[in-house]
Structure 1
């Protein structure tokens, strides 16, 4: 699994090297083994092998870097940045402090029913401590790796939570599968890059 995810990641990097190299300039180097172990210690859980391999290869991105007077909006197609491990820990702490308490509020119970009907693979809670935020636009869209799914899901599945419209969507059964879908979509033209207000943005043609 670890070898597969790196193969798909390299396919993605090759596409951007040919088509939009500005995105590559924004990528950080991989995390250290110590940082990965720190994340596992905070979670009190082992990371999926593919996520571990991915974090060791790439640890976040800095999309405020300019390239020919343009900046990028995240290399993956969720209009946000990949998080480094320090950023993952910061985002996780924010969710622990602000979202876990909502699990027990009466107001949230209505939303929980909606989440469960639309995304039954993910537990219908505001936040679970075993959801790992790996990227996104904080406050709007966050991509999570789910280490504590429902009986209908699988450990390591990838889902997106859109806070702006209170919506969840299962994206893939694993990070490896998610990157495979993306690599395939880039090669087939489903995903493409356009300039939007002096920013290079990855878009998804859902019709393909």
Structure 2
């Protein structure tokens, strides 16, 4: 994970250096324990190694490191999880439809889904500790706002963050203050949020143009 962060920070420093100031210091071992207790699961080693270097972004950050999503610090992960858990226990999600991809349980939200990122508008990326039989423990899933879709992004945290950093280096993202941080070039070119998740897979994206610095108006 050290090498991943070195590459991630090198890209940020070159193309979005103001965001370097948004990074928290590293998490301590005791910071993971409340989360593991809440979700009754052991966090993956790769996740812990990643967060020991930087504990996400400042909680008040307005610009996202992960395609306009804020990379949540551990404390905020737990806070959002607790809010969702309260709503879950109150039955707020009982009548809501879910359209999960294979490997994800057919639920609107599950108490074993840990929020990793948010766009602060209702979309989240979760680490899933309660997959279906076809899924993988600790897989990464996307919950778009105002949608029943539950989309499988990667089989593990390590696979997901490795792919994201590689896509940065391959030139598929820009920094845009106007759009709220680091964002896919195809979204800047008019592709809707509805197709956002498709880019997070290793799919049909090798033919995208290289990186160009976005000129703000």
TM range (shorter): 0.7 to 0.9
Counterpart Cα distance in 1 of 2:59 and 2:92: 32
Match of 1:179 among 161, 168, 191: 161
Compute the TM-score of the two structures, normalised by the length of structure 1.
0.81
Where in structure 2 are the equivalents of 1:8-23 lying within 5 Å? Answer: 8-23=4-19
Moved over 6 A (4+): none
Counterpart Cα distance in 2 of 1:76 and 1:93: 22
Counterpart Cα distance in 2 of 1:63 and 1:98: 22
Q: Give the aligned partner of residue 37 of structure 1.
A: 33
Match of 1:203 among 171, 179, 184: 184
1:87 and 2:68 matched: no
For the 8 Å contact 2:23–2:56, the answer to whether it is kept is yes
Compute the TM-score of the two structures, normalised by the length of structure 2.
0.78
Counterpart Cα distance in 2 of 1:204 and 1:60: 23
Counterpart Cα distance in 2 of 1:22 and 1:61: 12
Match of 2:63 among 61, 73, 90: 73
Counterpart Cα distance in 1 of 2:92 and 2:104: 16
1:60 and 2:56 matched: yes
Segments of 5+ residues of structure 2 without an aligned counterpart are: 187-198, 200-204, 209-217
Counterpart Cα distance in 1 of 2:159 and 2:14: 23
Name the structure with the higher helix share. Answer: 1
Name the structure with the higher strand share. Answer: 1
Structure 2 SS opposite 1:133: strand
Segments of 5+ residues of structure 1 without an aligned counterpart are: 66-71
For the 8 Å contact 1:63–1:74, the answer to whether it is kept is no
Q: How many residues align?
A: 188
Structure 2 SS opposite 1:170: strand
Counterpart Cα distance in 2 of 1:179 and 1:19: 18
Q: Give the aligned partner of residue 119 of structure 2.
A: 137
For the 8 Å contact 2:173–2:182, the answer to whether it is kept is no
Counterpart Cα distance in 1 of 2:133 and 2:84: 23
